[in-house]
Chain A
Amino acid sequence: MPDLVVCVKQTVDVYQLKPHPETLAPQLAQAQFKNSDFDLNALEEAIRIKEKHGGRVVLVTAGHDVKTLLVRECLAMGADEAYVFSDPAMSKADGHVTAFVLSKIIEKKVGKWDLILCGEASLDENAYQTGPRLAEIFNIPHVSYVSKLEWLGGSVKAWKSVEEGVKVVSCKTPAVVTVGLEINTPRLPSLLMIRAAQKKPVNDVKREELGLREEDLKPMADVLEVKALKTERRRQVFEGKPEELAEKLAETILAHGGKR
């Protein structure tokens, strides 16, 4: 029965984020937070493995202001317990710091595990690095961009989506697997599951328990500036009867060279 660890990042909801009209900086203060999309795919996959093969699913999250409500959402989906590292220093964390902190939580708190699952990238940073970095720290194999996964007891078989097609690979466990959107559709927890999740343990983890020093939380890359991309478009809007719009659309397409 596999022991599964899932790393979930809480990020700003980029779908709702608006830039400041003048400075073009993202207005993070008003932003809502959510569980990063692909991480929920990772969690869903872990739960499916557990449903088929038994075992347990442990959730690990680290951030500068971890919201318990969002952790509960993951528990309601089917994770058994959660370890939460919420520390203001994480607001400047880069991939190096994040992977190091996650590795410490997994090593010191989770103890025994067979497989770590992560989203292939986070919704906010889109860096594709946490999973491979974690694997390097533990000196274990990893497979990224997984669109189908089989637990074979002591090893995994993974279908990895790359630009040219799908690579089927296998590796021994312990291992790290990062997944994309294609692998599954994360379940929406029922009211009953949400209630049941209230009793599941959410363990707060402190810096000292992990033996983290100040310098362990210092990033190797500093963000100097974040600015919205601006596109200049004509933004002409057409409304009306389908017949008129179709005429206008056909004209517009032809006017812009859309013909053989």
Chain B
Amino acid sequence: MKVVVSAEKPELAAGIAAFVRKNFNEATVSAAFFKEPSAYEAEALGKAGVGKIWLLPQALWDGGEPAAAAALAELVQKTGADLLVLWASKTANEIGARAAQRLQASYASECISLEKTDRGVVAKRLVLGGGYISTLLLKQTPAVVTLKNTAELGEVVEKKPLAEKFDVSVSAPAVEFLEFIKPETAHVELEKADFIVAVGRGFKKKEDLAMAEELARLIGAEVGCSRPISGDLRWLSEDRHIGLSGKRVRPKLYVALGISGQVQHLVGMRDSRTVVAVNIDPNAPMAAESDYFFVADIYKILPLTIQLLKEKMGS
């Protein structure tokens, strides 16, 4: 089976390549990039079992997602690949869809696992708000997937992957890049946080988040939120959004404040080791997803808790 992997960051491409090698017997894996990987990145790809690196013209990446999708589709076609695996970033999800359409291929986005069967590639992905796992058979070859899972790289480079230019001339509709707006606040990496205090619609005003922020400071936690807080309310930046279309976190302790626990949020925090929640509604779905569920008004309990923690921690 011939597999092409791709990701904007070569280290992620290596991660998904390693996943493919681990789960598919005897897969030949090549990696495609619009920008040449560094020697260090090429070594990581080698450790992931990538045998070849295809260099696609950077102009096609710069030309927008339709052109990037066309280039990848062309590569799949010309090299006779059976499967195109992209790291499931938001951009990859749309590129994958266009590439699949161009190739008349089966497509599954944001897969959490992949396996090879006699009938085709079987993919698992989250559906119905993230509360359910759907198992899909991709009947058509080639197939396109975006994958949100990686595997550890091998210890040694099996074979140094050779880089080769793949000259491709595709015509695709242009999307012109104008500017990039970085979020105002410093980038947080919630995925790596051991402690998270997450806030939801139980907070009535932006200023009130100060309570959660103080609690987080006290216990050395990062602040996260459900989608409405970063989305329509914009009280916090998007990089703090935990949920289906945001971050998937796995802290040691997750403290959910005023979060009812819609399925879309739960999918982002389900892997937390311990979940503590405070909510005024005893019937909130979060109750069933918590280890310790406090039926209380955050406005009453938080100031008291903060005071107590200060006393107990001696600060």
Contact = CB atoms under 8 A, between A and B. Distances in A.
A243 to B, nearest CB: 6
B308 A136 contact: no
A191 interface: no
Nearest to A100: B101
Nearest to A41: B232
A253 B219 contact: yes
Nearest to B238: A161
B150 interface: no
Given A135-B66, A171-B173, A245 B178 contact: no
A220 B140 contact: yes
Interface string B275-312: 11010001000011111111111001100110111001
B195 interface: yes
Contacts of B174: 141, 171-172
B159 interface: no
Contact of A236 (B194, B292, B312): B292
A220 B66 contact: no
A234 B297 CA distance: 22
A237 B104 CA distance: 52
Listed from nearest, the 10 A-B pairs whose CB atoms lie closest are A246-B304, A14-B129, A129-B97, A258-B219, A136-B101, A132-B97, A141-B173, A220-B106, A250-B308, A234-B291
B199 to A, nearest CB: 15
Interface string B20-54: 00000000000000000000000000000000000
Given A136-B98, A142-B66, A144-B94, A15 B220 contact: no
B309 A253 contact: yes
B312 A250 contact: yes
B138 A220 contact: yes
Contacts of B253: 253, 256-258
A200 interface: no
B276 A259 contact: no
A12 interface: yes
A133 to B, nearest CB: 4
Interface of A: 12, 14-15, 17, 19, 26, 94-96, 99, 120-121, 123-133, 135-137, 139-145, 157, 159, 161-172, 175, 178, 180-182, 185, 220-229, 231, 233-239, 242-243, 245-250, 252-254, 256-260
Interface stretch (B78-86, B120-128, B160-168, B202-210): B120-128
A126 B175 contact: no
Given A252-B276, A258-B220, A259-B220, A236 B291 contact: yes
Contact of A124 (B96, B128, B307): B128
B181 to A, nearest CB: 4
B222 interface: no
B88 to A, nearest CB: 9
Interface residues of B, number: 97
Contacts of B304: 242-243, 246
B295 A249 contact: no
A142 B288 CA distance: 40
B127 A126 contact: yes
Contact of B181 (A19, A94, A143, A165): A165
A225 B245 contact: no
B180 A166 contact: yes
B55 interface: no
A129 B109 contact: yes
21 contacts: A126-B130, A131-B97, A132-B101, A141-B64, A141-B175, A142-B94, A142-B175, A167-B179, A169-B176, A171-B176, A221-B136, A225-B134, A228-B132, A229-B132, A229-B267, A233-B290, A236-B293, A242-B296, A246-B305, A249-B305, A258-B255
A242 B293 CA distance: 14
Contacts of A231: 270, 289
A64 B174 CA distance: 35
B14 interface: no
Given A142-B66, A142-B94, A169-B177, A17 B276 contact: no
Nearest to A166: B181
Contact of A126 (B122, B126, B182): B126
B287 to A, nearest CB: 7
A103 to B, nearest CB: 10
Interface in B194-243: 194-195, 218-221, 227, 231-232, 234, 238-239
Given A229-B132, A260-B220, A181 B231 contact: yes
B87 to A, nearest CB: 11
A190 B206 CA distance: 30
Q: Which of B104, B122, B177, B245 has the most CB of A within 10 A?
A: B245
A211 B134 CA distance: 31
A168 B276 contact: no
Contacts of B66: 135-136, 141-142
A54 B127 CA distance: 37
Contacts of B234: 182
Nearest to B194: A257
